[in-house]
Chain A
């Protein structure tokens, strides 16, 4: 391998890693706030790419129907929960959050589609359509078992992923899509050609990570999410509702996954089931970072991207094996390095 090829592989790896980093940061965000390892994040990313491709082809994406069905289900579950707890006074609010807002988003996207919107608007529409999915899934699937063990939540999360893959096939069909590059610019750096799309991926990852950092450090809502992650009982005693913190975490996480889906769509062909590998590689990155640290997850995810890039050059057939084998030494190192406390065992 020459240094030129190594440089090209490294740049390619950083770009792929940046996409994984966005999903990994979302995974850490959801895990720390809700204790759910949200495996379907990759599916959210893939669905965003499929949604954007449908919008590009002037078709209304299946995401609309998916959101409507999830919104109806979530509303029914919320109403039955309010009835059970004798909290019917909260009904208008529940209807607004679980029915009116998601349906309004789908309606707005449908109306906007008729005006043949430019690319920038289509990107916004794709993100708008995708962001309600994870919070609605949270209400339907995870909220009723919020006090369960991490293992139970993980098992349900895996099952949910398979359900979503099935729904993906139903709503988006079996064809793969590849969207137009968001930019056709390119530049040369140290003799290596870097495409505008690659730069855009890295810049977007940096910008969104930076925005998340500002949100966590400078807003009360961001701090309340961190507080819920650090100490759930303590945050409840401050009046911070874990369910609401969870919803915000899912919204933000879906936005990150959605952005990564938009960024990856022009580079890779995305199918209804492509999300699993994206999510799993981001998950490996997050584990390398310890599942609780955002910079750790981002660095881990970029590392996974670079490893994958070099592995695919050495042996394309074994690249996934090589990437996932990384987990073994990392887990051994982590289990040797961390001291188990009694609290963790109770957990």
Chain B
């Protein structure tokens, strides 16, 4: 497996406060990597820096190229995609238009219809609601739309910020099943989650972020049995 994405000693500051400090992580091709940690640990900040919405220090490499100085749009054109915590859907626009805009960065438009059909196959609910405005969807449907929209860009690395946030348990299971199935398509995934158990069950490798620093990392199957993590994040059993 070759390295898809890596961060080396990345530091992100809000004004003069270091929200993320010297974080290093890497995602191999076709791998699901998760970053877990408590609220306010800097998980979202890390993803915002990875996509370029926040400025950062340190080195960021995507598919062998340094992307640290690139704009958000240039990163997206290289097929690095983020589904943010707030989803950032185009609420006044239809589901179909939201999905179509997901493919905006693709130069080759020939495969767009096929990708759209694949997304509709994966999320039949979106097909049923394709003419409906995104703002009228339920929480679960909005998350499906955010995921579907990101898939329209044919991402090489998909970064997901709290995909289970605010969703009913049944929907959460469906979302994680979908995430796991994306790995089979060859999409690498960087998953940031508070639902640590679900994240580690789905991921191959995990990092634990506390107060802006990586305090622990290892294969997900090892972390899930780690006594410290069980007490702190996995519900203590």
Q: Name A's B-contacting residues (CB within 8 A).
A: 86, 220, 223-224, 226-227, 230-231, 233-241
Q: Is the interface of A mostly helix, strand, loop or mixed?
A: helix
Q: How far is the CB of B99 from chain A (nearest CB, A)?
A: 11
Identify 26 residue pairs between A and B in the complex whose beta-carbon atoms are under 8 Å apart, listed by A's number.
Answer: A226-B97, A227-B90, A227-B93, A230-B92, A231-B88, A231-B89, A231-B90, A231-B91, A233-B84, A234-B88, A234-B90, A236-B72, A237-B76, A237-B81, A237-B82, A237-B88, A238-B101, A238-B102, A238-B105, A238-B149, A239-B76, A239-B104, A239-B105, A239-B153, A240-B104, A241-B71
**A235-B53 contact in complex given A227-B93, A230-B91, A241-B73, C-beta closer than 8 Å:** no
Which A residues touch B72, using CB under 8 A?
Answer: 236-237, 239
Q: How far is the CB of A227 from chain B (nearest CB, A)?
A: 5
Q: Would you call B100 an interface residue if the criterion is a C-beta within 8 Å of the partner chain's C-beta atoms?
A: yes
Contact B91 A235, beta carbon cutoff 8 Å: no
Which B residues touch A224, using CB under 8 A?
Answer: 101, 104
| Cβ proximity bits B54-85 to A, threshold 8 Å, 1 near / 0 not | 00000000000000010111001100011010
Q: How far is the CB of B58 from chain A (nearest CB, A)?
A: 18
Contact B104 A230, beta carbon cutoff 8 Å: no
Which A residues touch B105, using CB under 8 A?
Answer: 238-239
Q: Which residue of B lies closest to A230 (CB)?
A: B90
Q: When chains A and B are docked, how far (Å) is the Cα of A233 from the Cα of B161?
A: 15
Q: Would you call B51 an interface residue if the criterion is a C-beta within 8 Å of the partner chain's C-beta atoms?
A: yes
Which B residues touch A240, using CB under 8 A?
Answer: 73, 101, 104
Contact B101 A235, beta carbon cutoff 8 Å: yes
Q: How far is the CB of A248 from chain B (nearest CB, A)?
A: 13
**A223-B73 contact in complex given A231-B89, A234-B89, A237-B51, C-beta closer than 8 Å:** no
Q: How far is the CB of A342 from chain B (nearest CB, A)?
A: 14
Which A residues touch B91, using CB under 8 A?
Answer: 230-231
Which B residues touch A233, using CB under 8 A?
Answer: 53, 84, 88
Q: Which residue of A lies closest to B135 (CB)?
A: A230
Contact A238 B93, beta carbon cutoff 8 Å: no
Q: A220-B101, A223-B100 are in contact. List 6 more A-B contacts (CB 8 A).
A: A227-B90, A234-B88, A234-B90, A236-B72, A237-B81, A237-B88
Q: When chains A and B are docked, how far (Å) is the Cα of A239 from the Cα of B149?
A: 12
Which A residues touch B88, using CB under 8 A?
Answer: 231, 233-234, 237
Contact A223 B93, beta carbon cutoff 8 Å: yes
Q: When chains A and B are docked, how far (Å) is the Cα of A49 from the Cα of B119?
A: 51
Which A residues touch B104, using CB under 8 A?
Answer: 220, 224, 238-240
B78-134 residues with Cβ-Cβ distance < 8 A to A are 81-82, 84, 88-93, 97, 100-102, 104-105
Q: How far is the CB of B150 from chain A (nearest CB, A)?
A: 8
Q: When chains A and B are docked, how far (Å) is the Cα of A334 from the Cα of B89?
A: 26
Q: When chains A and B are docked, how far (Å) is the Cα of A237 from the Cα of B89?
A: 10
Q: Which residue of B lies closest to A292 (CB)?
A: B92
Which B residues touch A223, using CB under 8 A?
Answer: 93, 97, 100-101
Which A residues touch B153, using CB under 8 A?
Answer: 238-239
